[in-house]
Amino acid sequence: MSSNHTLMGVTFIGCGAAAPETIVLNDELAQVVDTSDEWISSRTGIRQRHIGHDRESLAGLATQAAQQALEMAGVAAEDVDLIILATSSAEDLFGSACRIQAQLGATKAVAFDLTAACSGFVFGVVTAAQFLRSGVYRNVLVIGADLLSRWVDWQDRNTCVLFGDGAGAVLMQGTINPDRLLGFEISSDGSQNCCLNLSFKPELRELIPGVVLTQGKYQYITMNGKEVYRFAINRVPDAIDKVIHQAHLTSADIDWLILHQANQRIMDAVALRLQIPPEKVVSNVAKYGNTSAASIPIALTEAVRAGKIQTGDTIATSGFGAGLSWGAAIFKWGN
């Protein structure tokens, strides 16, 4: 850990992504539940999703994504100070971040999980920025990773068609140069918590006479799709609008809009409200479905690798989902 407490700026200098090899097409899902490629693609834009098999692990995918981010940034694993793993599908309720720390060989890094569903990556970036701006840490890996295929009810066509598995990562570094994180806003509304859940169902057990405890299991994902849709198309444009103002910009200054890849219709509606043209909207929901905390860093990585996003480009991003929670940030890519 650095003992330099000079106020610093933040840069985003590396990214990476990984997804399981196995792909399930919409038509193949129609063999599992009563659905069709036409229904799924017209309502969501999704055409396929990657699904992890039994030998694939959340930590393994996250480590792959993180290694790519380190390589692009030219930062050695031993120089990472902090690893934040945004996930809602940790393989261990005590957290999976430390396993990634070990697999990376990031021996001096402190590592912890952050649970905020599909907002997790943006919440992670904002958390990382606090450590970097204060000068406490110099190199922070923010990873978004989820294997929601493990938590989806494959008999429930309302939800199982939506989700896919994957991991993405960014390396954020402290700098004495101007801060590349131009604005952020993170929010929660627990009054709508019941709209989207992966909840624990307690089963009563009498330990000794008069002492009843609860042991149980986590249930499959449940979702009120219409409410989540309404929430997203209202809250997300407002949040992005706020951060655009915070950054003293207008929506015309945004080079790329990278939203949480939940649904193409949500992305289109948000872009329309912000008057950001479709060619500036980064979308890969057709290929991956909704990968929860992983979706933004996967989309970012693909756009950077394709040469679309260039150093100095201004990116507006927003994650939203269970909690309900949402967050937006504006940052410039690269050094």
* Closer Cβ to ligand ACO, 43 or 133, answer by number: 43
Known catalytic membership, residue 260:
yes
Span near ligand ACO by CB under 6 A; candidates 8-16, 77-85, 225-233, 306-314: 225-233
Q: Whole-number minimum distance, CB 157 to ligand ACO, in Å? A: 4
Site membership for ligand ACO, residue 89 (CB under 6 A): no
Which DSSP string do the residues of 44-76 spell out, in sequence order? H---EEE---TT--HHHHHHHHHHHHHHHHT--
Distances, alpha carbon 177 to alpha carbons 12, 255, 257, in Å: 12, 21, 24
Task: Identify which of 58, 148, 132, 128 has the alpha carbon closest to the alpha carbon of residue 95.
Answer: 58
* Closer Cβ to ligand ACO, 55 or 226, answer by number: 226
Known catalytic membership, residue 118:
yes
The two structure tokens encoding residue 199: 């909840």
The two structure tokens encoding residue 269: 């509606």
Task: Identify which of 117, 32, 149 has the alpha carbon closest to the alpha carbon of residue 292.
Answer: 117
Contact 240, 182 (CB under 8 A): no
* Closer Cβ to ligand ACO, 91 or 156, answer by number: 156
- Whole-number Å distance between alpha carbons of 71 and 174: 17
Span near ligand ACO by CB under 6 A; candidates 221-229, 237-245, 277-285, 302-310: 221-229
Per DSSP bridges, beta strands 314-321 and 325-332 are antiparallel
Applying CB under 6 A, the site for ligand ACO has a residue count of: 22
Distances, alpha carbon 130 to alpha carbons 2, 137, 140, 244, in Å: 14, 9, 11, 20
Site membership for ligand ACO, residue 117 (CB under 6 A): yes
Site membership for ligand ACO, residue 225 (CB under 6 A): yes
Known catalytic membership, residue 158:
no
String marking each residue 120-149 x if it binds ligand ACO according to CB under 6 A: ------------------------------
Contact 236, 328 (CB under 8 A): yes
Positions 246 through 265 that interact with ligand ACO (CB under 6 A): 262-263
Q: Whole-number minimum distance, CB 196 to ligand ACO, in Å? A: 5
Span near ligand ACO by CB under 6 A; candidates 224-232, 235-243, 244-252, 300-308: 224-232
Contact 240, 328 (CB under 8 A): yes
DSSP 163: B
285, 321, 329, 333: residue in contact with ligand ACO (rule CB under 6 A):
321
CB atoms under 10 Å from CB of 222, counted, come to 15
Does residue 259 have a cis peptide bond before it, meaning omega lies within 30 degrees of 0?
no
Q: Whole-number minimum distance, CB 318 to ligand ACO, in Å? A: 12
Site membership for ligand ACO, residue 242 (CB under 6 A): no
* 198 CB-near residues (< 8 Å, 6+ apart): 88, 151, 218, 219, 220, 221, 222, 322
Q: Whole-number minimum distance, CB 162 to ligand ACO, in Å? A: 6
Site membership for ligand ACO, residue 188 (CB under 6 A): no
String marking each residue 25-54 x if it binds ligand ACO according to CB under 6 A: ----------x---xx--xx----------
Residue of 15, 26, 50, 118 marked catalytic:
118
Residue of 50, 260, 263, 284 marked catalytic:
260
Give the binding site for ligand ACO (CB under 6 A).
Answer: 35, 39-40, 43-44, 117-118, 157-158, 161, 196, 223, 225-226, 228-229, 262-263, 290, 292, 321-322
Any idea which residues carry the catalytic annotation? 118, 260, 290
